Structure 1
């Protein structure tokens, strides 16, 4: 029986990740629920601004998770919860978790998030943060089951309503 493997993405995965992101975006009826990223954004997170984990089944990427390390960027979610300048270095964003529809319900979002949390914890990140649309209950439930709490609800990404989620690593 073939297993689903979680591993870090490489440059050659960018096109497939971008294609999956846009395939999933097309299946979502409410444009406010999901913001697709550019190929440049994806590439940047493989090389310098974080990392991407991929779920691979039968040598095909079937889902992924983008982690962003925003440091002192103006969109660091730590600013939304008034972290001091020094603490901003310890913030990591769970940017996007995308699973192809045919592979949903297998616990892949949870597996990807747990692996990302493990990597981030080993590297000293104390504040794991994300944004989720209030109506995106499957994603919101996955986050809260892993210990994330809604700390604020604001408008982000050009006016789209989002819950800001936080999980503190000790």
Structure 2
């Protein structure tokens, strides 16, 4: 776990000082445990597709993962965002019709998870913005893509706040309807 910087989130008149950290593969057990907990909390199972351990390993070695750690609970994830430089076969640029030579320049906001105890602090919007900023600074990403269930209004709004637009709706992940989102950054 690599500390990056402090960031304070607010909900109504309540401030929540946090640390933004960059996760490493050694945190995989924590990540999987957090994901399992959140899967048990999701009411509409169609809106969230968890990653397998193998997919998390790929993401951690071919992307970056931010976590929000509240100062009041320094060993607990409040929010997690996994960002990925996708493999060719998983690249959302294919769905969007990008030319093959542009696919290496695509980054994905791959998975976002918010602990229900910390919802309402607009972490999702801010962290999606930080993910896009990091892609924009890497010197190679031209397109940031993501998928979201059209029924998942909070996630859709968070992606839109980061500048992503719905380019199409398509069945993905075994028949689940998804908006395929895109932001051009170069």
TM-score by length of structure 2 reads 0.84
Aligned partners of 1:91, 1:22: CA distance in 2, in Å?
A: 28
C-alpha displacement at 1:44, in angstroms?
2.1
Of 69, 72, 78, the match for 1:56:
69
Unaligned runs of at least 5 residues, structure 2 = 1-14
Match of 1:77 in 2: 92
- 1:124-143 residue pairs with structure 2 within 5 A? 124-143=140-159
Query: In 2, are the aligned partners of 1:20 and 1:63 still within 8 Å (CA)?
Result: no
What are the superposed Cα offsets for residues 69-101 of structure 1, whole Å, 9 maximum, x if unpaired? 115x22211011111112101101111110100
Aligned structure 1 segments of 4 or more residues deviating by more than 3 angstroms: none
C-alpha displacement at 1:111, in angstroms?
2.4
What are the superposed Cα offsets for residues 1-50 of structure 1, whole Å, 9 maximum, x if unpaired? 87211121012321111111121111122221111112222222222x21
- 1:9-48 residue pairs with structure 2 within 5 A? 9-47=23-61
Aligned partners of 2:127, 2:172: CA distance in 1, in Å?
A: 24
The answer to whether structure 1 residue 165 and structure 2 residue 181 are counterparts is yes
Aligned partners of 1:2, 1:155: CA distance in 2, in Å?
A: 37
**TM-aligned CA distance change 1:145 to 1:119, over 3 Å:** closer
Of 135, 139, 153, the match for 1:120:
135
TM-score by length of structure 1 reads 0.92
Number of residue pairs matched by the alignment: 168
Query: In 1, are the aligned partners of 2:128 and 2:158 still within 8 Å (CA)?
Result: no
Query: In 2, are the aligned partners of 1:62 and 1:100 still within 8 Å (CA)?
Result: yes
Aligned partners of 1:30, 1:69: CA distance in 2, in Å?
A: 28
Aligned partners of 1:44, 1:75: CA distance in 2, in Å?
A: 12
Q: Quick one: higher RCO (CA 8 Å, sep 6+), 1 or 2? A: 1
**TM-aligned CA distance change 1:130 to 1:2, over 3 Å:** closer
C-alpha displacement at 1:103, in angstroms?
0.6
Q: How much is the aligned-residue C-alpha RMSD, in angstroms?
A: 1.6
Unaligned runs of at least 5 residues, structure 1 = none
